[in-house]
């Protein structure tokens, strides 16, 4: 069985007709959306694409549309890019040179039952959805998506580490800061390839888990003592954890890969001043494995739409 093949997960079997009669509108996006579009077409949804006019291989089974209240007023599902909108409603699309702005008028034209999907939502989108009673699902806030997403994130982190060091990861001293969804996956993979993994945590439960998994653990409050020996530091803590004070204790040739969302957890100005290589590495799943990242989203969106269908059919 091929991992991530379209019917890999049991719940995906026999779902092909699941979205019959549903109108799914995609507004903007990147390569990850292509997998979601493909899934919706396979599930027999009516698919409209806004901001996809430069798509190299257009989908048969989907129609290109302009952004208008008319199209949105007939949407059952609206799928936005991972970043949703910016603070002014701007929606990004790598498949068009047009500017796409989701205005209040657009949002208010959605039917009350329409569900809006985005990876994360800025207050602009949250407020508009709340004002018009539209359900908004932020996919990246979900534990399952974050855990699945940690797989391409870890592969991307390894890629960054290999590209930016002249030593093997095997035998290197790797600090992993944070033991959440990404940190745990990363520590496990580094450990498996023979790195000396030391995890920086703040809770006793994470200390215990690290011990159980065979990693050394230390309290992040004692980080300055532990960076002294590090070859690599991977940060997953979304807070200013690698401060100027910490950087003063780091070896000059340490490589810091910062996975935490912008602005990251490193004092970059000070790192540059000390000549320490510190790299903020956002959006790795979309860079190293857009297809897999897209399939994770497709699977989650179609799973979430399933109860909607069952309700319609009177099965719940």
Separation of alpha carbons 75 and 72, rounded Å: 5
Are 165 and 297 in contact, with CB atoms under 8 Å apart? no
Binding test (CB under 6 A) with ligand NAP, winner from 43, 80, 182, 276: 182
Cβ-based nearer residue to ligand NAP, 162 or 310: 162
Is residue 260 part of the contact set for ligand NAP (CB under 6 A)? yes
Q: How far is the CB of 126 from ligand NAP (least distance, A)?
A: 17
- Give phi and psi for 99, each to the nearest 5: -90, 130
Separation of alpha carbons 119 and 230, rounded Å: 34
Is residue 159 part of the contact set for ligand NAP (CB under 6 A)? no
Binding test (CB under 6 A) with ligand NAP, winner from 170, 202, 248, 274: 202
Cβ-based nearer residue to ligand NAP, 162 or 239: 239
Is residue 243 part of the contact set for ligand NAP (CB under 6 A)? no
Cβ-based nearer residue to ligand NAP, 109 or 149: 149
Cβ-based nearer residue to ligand NAP, 19 or 256: 256
Binding test (CB under 6 A) with ligand NAP, winner from 39, 149, 246, 300: 149
- Give phi and psi for 169, each to the nearest 5: -70, -35
Question: What b-and-e string marks burial along 249-276, b requiring 16 or more CB atoms within 10 Å of the CB?
Answer: ebeeebbbbbbbeeebbbbbebbeeeeb
Are 234 and 157 in contact, with CB atoms under 8 Å apart? yes
| Residues near ligand NAP (CB under 6 A) | 146, 149, 153, 178-183, 202-203, 220, 236-239, 259-261, 281-285
């Amino acid at each position: 069985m091929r991992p991530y093949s379209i019917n890999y997960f049991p719940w995906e079997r026999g779902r092909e007709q699941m979205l019959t009669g549903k109108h799914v509108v995609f507004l903007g996006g990147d390569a990850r959306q292509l997998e979601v579009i493909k899934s919706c077409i396979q599930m027999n949804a009516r698919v409209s694409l806004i901001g996809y006019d430069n798509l190299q291989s257009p989908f048969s089974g989907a129609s290109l549309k302009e952004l208008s209240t008319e199209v949105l007023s007939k949407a059952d599902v609206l799928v936005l890019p991972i970043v949703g909108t910016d603070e002014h409603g701007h929606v990004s699309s790598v498949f068009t040179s047009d500017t796409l702005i989701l205005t209040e008028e657009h949002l208010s034209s959605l039917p009350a039952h329409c569900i809006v999907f985005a990876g994360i939502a800025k207050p602009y989108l949250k407020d508009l959805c709340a004002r018009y009673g539209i359900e908004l699902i932020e996919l990246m806030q979900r534990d399952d998506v974050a855990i699945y997403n940690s797989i391409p994130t870890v592969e991307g982190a390894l890629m960054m580490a290999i590209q930016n060091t002249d030593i093997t990861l095997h035998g290197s001293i790797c600090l992993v800061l944070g033991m959440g969804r990404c940190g745990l996956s990363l520590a496990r993979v580094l450990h498996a390839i023979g790195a000396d993994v030391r995890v920086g945590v703040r809770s006793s439960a994470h200390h215990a888990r690290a011990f159980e998994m065979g990693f050394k653990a230390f309290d992040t409050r004692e980080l300055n003592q532990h960076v002294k020996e590090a070859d690599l530091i991977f940060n997953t803590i979304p807070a200013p954890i690698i401060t100027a004070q910490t950087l003063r204790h780091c070896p000059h040739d340490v490589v810091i890969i910062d996975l935490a969302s912008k602005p990251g957890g490193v004092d970059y100005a000070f790192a540059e001043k000390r000549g320490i290589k510190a790299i903020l590495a956002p959006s790795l799943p979309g860079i190293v494995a857009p297809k897999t990242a897209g399939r994770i989203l497709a699977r989650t969106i179609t799973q979430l739409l399933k109860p909607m269908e069952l309700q319609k059919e009177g099965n719940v």
